Amino acid sequence: MKLAIFGANSHIAQDLVASFANHGGYDCHLFVRDITSVFAEADPIVKRQLFTVSEYAEFDQATHYDAILNFVGVGDPERAKAMGPTIFEVTERYDQLAMAYLKRYPASKYIFLSSGAAYGGNFEVPVSEGTKAVFSINELRAQDWYSVAKFCAECRHRAHAEMNIVDVRVFGYFSSKQSLDARFLLSDILKALKTGGVLGVSPENMVRDYMVPSDFFQLIASILSSPPTNAVVDCYTLQPVDKFTLLSTVKSTYGLEYDVVGEHAKVNATGTKSNYYSLNRHAAMFGFKPGESSMSGILKEIEVHLASAEGEECNIDHS
């Protein structure tokens, strides 16, 4: 299967590309804005020369792809905050590039990486199939831009019911390759485990559903192998996890030290989300069956991360 992958330098895209490489049967053409600043020579995909890597100027509308996967966007809440309203232009530019391609090749598929944030700002309870998106239209704030950009893209896709487009809403994602510099709770946990420091957390609890690479690959592969459709799916695992259960489990398993330090420890670039997960199981229509819960997946990925870090230390020449 021949795939064009936009935003191939993103964390979640790189994990998926590695899964494609490991499973075989996928010919991926990776597109990024600047090859030299993104892919280091040590990157396994580049080093093994498995897939072609190009800048967007080289995207050829005449080349046939079975599907386009669009990961262009921001995965870090601090970056989303810094981008501000420009996120609208960035989201639309690459979305329109993919949709123009579908007009030329209507049999091709398009998978767009959306977000649970497209539901708006109301997560007092988890969302479900009947949940409506909620935005304060007369008082839109900077932290709403990311959510509204995803919502607008989804509306554009539903307006073209004749196109084979599936929007995949990610609520939480974690892998062993998570950047320690990203402002996520799990990034901060990894950093504290690596440095031996004490993690400061805010006092409010929250419930999240964190998908890991194995289940994300299974979801995307199931969509790619299914009959063409125009639809949207929410990501989910076997079970979400609340913040303090997560913290106490990582503490008992890996010795994490943490303190409740106050509200200033909270990162809130895209709004407060007390129950940021979905009960919508529409992805099962594609044959998706998660293999991990949030907690089991996180523990496996932390184990891989720590083992990898230990291996890197052993390979350092101390002479």
Q: What is the pLDDT of residues 95-151, one digit of tens each?
A: 999 999 999 999 999 999 999 999 998 899 999 999 999 998 898 888 889 999 999
pLDDT at 255: 96
Average pLDDT over residues 237-243: 98
What DSSP letter does each residue of 222-290 carry, written as one string? HHHTSPP--EEEE---S--EEHHHHHHHHHHHH--EEEE--GGG---TT---TEE-B---GGGGGT---
Mean per-residue pLDDT of the chain: 89
pLDDT at 264: 47
- The Cα 194–Cα 189 span in angstroms is 9
Residue pair 157/230 in contact by the 8 Å Cβ criterion:
yes
- The Cα 212–Cα 86 span in angstroms is 29
pLDDT at 28: 95
Say whether pLDDT at 41 is over 90: no
Quote the DSSP letter at residue 131.
P
Phi/psi at 116 (5° precision) = -60, -20
Domain segments of the chain as ranges: 2-314
Query: In 3D, which of 290, 150, 287 has the Cα closest to residue 211?
Result: 290
Pick the CATH number of 2-314 from 3.10.20.30, 1.10.4000.10, 3.30.1490.190, 3.40.50.720: 3.40.50.720
Q: Lay out the sheet containing 109-115: strands in order across.
A: 52-55, 27-32, 2-6, 67-70, 109-115, 165-170, 231-234
Name the more confident of 313 and 255.
255
pLDDT at 318: 42
Q: What is the pLDDT of residues 169-211, one digit of tens each?
A: 999 999 999 988 887 899 999 999 999 999 999 999 999 999 9
Q: What is the pLDDT of residues 214-238, one digit of tens each?
A: 999 999 999 999 999 999 999 999 9
